Amino acid sequence: MNYLSRFFGYKKKELEDHTIPELRAMAKNIANVYISDSNARKLKKSGIINLLAKNKRYQKSNHARSTKRKFDVGVVPEDIKVKDYRKTDEFELDLDLETIGERIKSEASRSTNTDNDWYANELYSELVERGKEGFPDLGEMCFFSYDAAYPEDYPYYDTRPLVYVMSFEDDKMFGANLHYLNPAIRGAVAGSLASKVGVNFRGPLQKCIHSYFYSNIDGMYTLPLDPREYADVAELVTENFVDKYGQKVELQSVWDSV
């Protein structure tokens, strides 16, 4: 048996002192994140270390506790500002640039076993290069990992939300998770949000609105402000809905819910 199949890191040895194959094994065995060969080439060693160090599962692991690495506390920044792109000239499109979604769809056409975990890992890899790490501004769209504080209160929840940010409070963020909508329609919805702040979600869209505790958010990236980026990323099936026991929920049942 390959030792990496059950490799959890050398005790008291920093991440930087491990090889890339060892880091990939730790990502899979500790953080439950699969890093493909192509993603490993994109991220390089420093990128894999960064992904591991920001993963809450890794931060709580025995290996992390045995090292001297310090981790950032998940709190909302104090300098969050409201941006209204309708009043600025920042909103410019590069129609010749291939979007993140297009790149991932192109890669999927050449790959096998492209389930929702594969798409999520590809999206994270792209956002590391082309997204903005950290908390978004109001009206922006972000992708992150989430561990529900009270999973017993919901029939299911999404561990990888794609959220249009609506407001911030002391301990949580409110937003519309477009993953509650069918991929066939959510691309159009997402694209229409790219230059708007304070959108009111009514009717069947109201089911998208949820709150997210800052302390339970991990690996947050903001999408580039471009309606094509928003639409193409929203069409990717990157969600992961689970019940209170952590068991996967059939996605079609979530999309069809009222």
Same domain flag for 37 and 109: no
Strand-pairing partners, residue 165, are 175
Read off the tokens for 22.
């060892």
Bigger pLDDT: 103 vs 61: 103
What is the total count of domains within the chain?
2
Same domain flag for 194 and 99: yes
What is the extent of the structural domain holding 56?
3-66
Same domain flag for 46 and 134: no
Task: Name the pTM for this structure.
Answer: 0.67
Q: Give the residue carrying structure tokens 């409070």.
A: 169
Same domain flag for 125 and 45: no
pLDDT tens, residue by residue, 113-161: 899 999 999 999 999 888 988 889 899 999 999 999 899 999 999 999 9
Same domain flag for 209 and 91: yes
Same domain flag for 13 and 110: no
Tell me the C-alpha distance between 234 and 200, whole Å.
19
Same domain flag for 62 and 95: no
Instruction: Classify residue 75: in a domain, yes or no.
Output: no
Tell me the C-alpha distance between 140 and 230, whole Å.
10
Instruction: Classify residue 41: in a domain, yes or no.
Output: yes
- Over residues 82-96, mean pLDDT: 43
Share of the chain above pLDDT 70, in %: 89
SS3 state at 172:
strand
Same domain flag for 53 and 120: no
pLDDT tens, residue by residue, 204-246: 899 999 999 998 999 899 999 899 999 999 999 999 999 999 9
Same domain flag for 43 and 117: no
